Amino acid sequence: MTRITLGGAVLRGTVSTALMASLISAPALAAAPVDLSKWSPEYVRSIAGTQDFDTSADCAKVTPLDYKGRLTFWYQGVFEGDPDLLRQYYKDFFETFRKTYPNIQLEEQALTYNDLLDKFRTALLGNAAPMAVRLQILGGTEFASKGYLEPLKPEDVGYSTEDFWPGAMKAVTWDGVTYGIPTNNETMAFIWNADIFKRAGLDPDKAPATWEDVVKYSKQIHDKLGIAGYGLVARKNAGNTPYRFMPQLWAYGGGVFDEATANPTYQQIELDSPQSKAALQASYDMYVRDKSVPVSALTNQQADNQPLFVAGQLGMMISHPSDYNVMLDLQKKATGTDKDKAQTVIDNMRYGLIPTGPDGKRAVVFGGSNIHILKPEYVEGGKVDEPAAKAIICMWTSPEWSLKMAYAGSNPGNLNGFKTKWMKERLDKIKFLDVTTSMLPYGIPFPALPQSPEIMNIIIPDMLQNALTGAMTVDQAADDAAKKVKDLMGGL
């Protein structure tokens, strides 16, 4: 039997509400289509399937269905770590768009998370960007601040700003102007293998409560069973690294700046604070002192942890609810005794809340993606077909498609997506979805700064690698990273 440690009382308690306030503003709370102050697995279940939406009718009000035009569109698409289910929804979306808008000539291009920013930046330099782009949450501010993006708010495609997570709207806002619309938002959860826990002498149905416990459990698993305990990821230029380290950093009370507070100002650099150093020390203890995590963590990303986990060689990791479907896909592809082994792992897969820091603070990255329209001067040919761009944006950010495109791995950017029948179906089909939605109130957005991609994709992984390889001590690595952030913010 699967038992999930949700900490439901805590979720519905004051801590949850207080953290929620860091994501949302009072006016938004009042007007949101779902009551975010009541957020809990039960509440999400209670609103699922309560409202119907007609996507093509809604989008027809924005761009007539017989509109004739041409659209170039790049998007962060599925990659090797995504389940097959998600691939199918992406195919369905583009097929549906072409049927809905038969006269729009769509030229779409999918790029993986780690390639998109580099390619998009290069295209912008040559004024060869697409007319519309769907970027990771980290990228919007960078391009908005440089003046590449057209102002774009939910109202421009028939929705209301309150239809979206306030935290997500912050990530598309620069200097008071909104430059994009969130397509999906998610928080990850903690995953463990109950069978490994049991064999290592741990309670199989109890997730580690704190990060100290993670370090302890990881060592115990490694010492008793000779396999990796926790799936640490410290690869550079890979989104997986900050998504797994920042929750740890914030839980310890650290941060890059004050991004974990309710009203961040990003003025004070906190990477070299004792709290941040304690978080880094925990990673050091697992990698260097205890050798209880994969040695390949420095070159690995989450997609490399998945086969380790399904092979029963990894005890714990942080990831999306989609990892359960990924495990099912991997199990299907396994042969002989490997198939049975994988099934045992799947049967013993457990999801729980991400552990807290020493002071009881729980945090997770508030992730997701946004969709934007480019200014004509940066687009190939110098023209942007705005009605065509708005048509695809309206469709992707609709309650229906923002849910379907996030079916296995994320959550709808449009909060109305939680009310659809597909959400109801999803709650039944996607195991452990409750746990990841329960993490949403603990979500902290990356700093809404143009420098964030460099900080998260290069400076943070560099700090980890410097400490974990012994190139620097923990203190030196943290100080070095803080200096790099300072230089970066100073325009160097």
Partner 1 sequence: MTIVTGKAEARRRLQPGRSGALRKIWEHRADYGYVLPAIAVMLIVIAYPIYYTVELSFFKTPPGLQLRDKIFIGFDNYAAILTSEVFWKVTLNTLIWTIGSTFFSFVLGFAAALALHRDFVGRGVLRAILIIPWVISAVAASYIWKWIYHSDFGIIGAVLVGLGLADRPPNFIDNVSTVLPSLIVVNIWREFPFAMIMMMAGLQTVPDQLLRAAEVDGANAWQRFWHVTFPHLRNVSTVTILLLAVANFNSFIIPWIMTGGGPSNASHIWITHIYELAFGRQRWGVASAYSVLLFLMLMTLGYFYVRALAGNERKEGSA
Q: Which residues make up the interface to partner 1 (CB under 8 A)?
A: 118, 121-122, 125, 142, 145-148, 228, 234-237, 294-299, 308, 313, 450-451, 454, 457-458, 461-462, 465-466, 468-472, 488, 491-492
CB nearer to partner 1: give 37 or 114.
114
3-state secondary structure of 184: strand
Q: Which residues pair with 368 in a beta bridge?
A: 185
Instruction: Report the residue number, 8 or 450, with the smaller CB distance to partner 1.
Output: 450
Question: Least distance in Å: CB of 401 to partner 1?
Answer: 31
To partner 1, the closest distance from the beta carbon of 202 in angstroms equals: 22
Minimum CB distance to partner 1 smaller for 319 or for 411: 319
For partner 1, the closer CB: 235 or 419: 235
- Cα(first)–Cα(last) distance of the chain, in Å? 55
As measured in angstroms, the least distance from the Cβ of 444 to partner 1 is: 22
Q: How far is the CB of 142 from partner 1 (least distance, A)?
A: 8
What are the CA-CA distances from residue 231 to residues 248, 314, 364, 368 (Å)? 13, 7, 16, 22
Nearer to partner 1, 133 or 228 (CB): 228
Instruction: For partner 1, give the closer residue by CB, 143 or 442.
Output: 143
Tokens coding 335: 């042969």
Of 230, 223, 166, nearest in space to 440 by CA: 166
Q: Please check whether residue 149 is in contact with residue 373, taking contact to mean a CB–CB distance below 8 angstroms.
A: yes
Give the C-alpha separation, 453 to 370, whole Å. 15
Least distance (Å) from partner 1 to the CB of residue 488? 7
Shortest separation between residue 296's beta carbon and partner 1, angstroms: 4
User: Which SS3 state, helix, strand or coil, does residue 295 take?
Assistant: helix
* Number of neighbours of residue 335 by Cβ within 10 angstroms: 6
Least gap, CB of 462 to partner 1 (angstroms) = 7
Nearer to partner 1, 30 or 295 (CB): 295
Rg (CA), the chain: 22
Residues 6 or more apart in contact with residue 148 via CB below 8 angstroms? 124, 129, 374, 375, 378
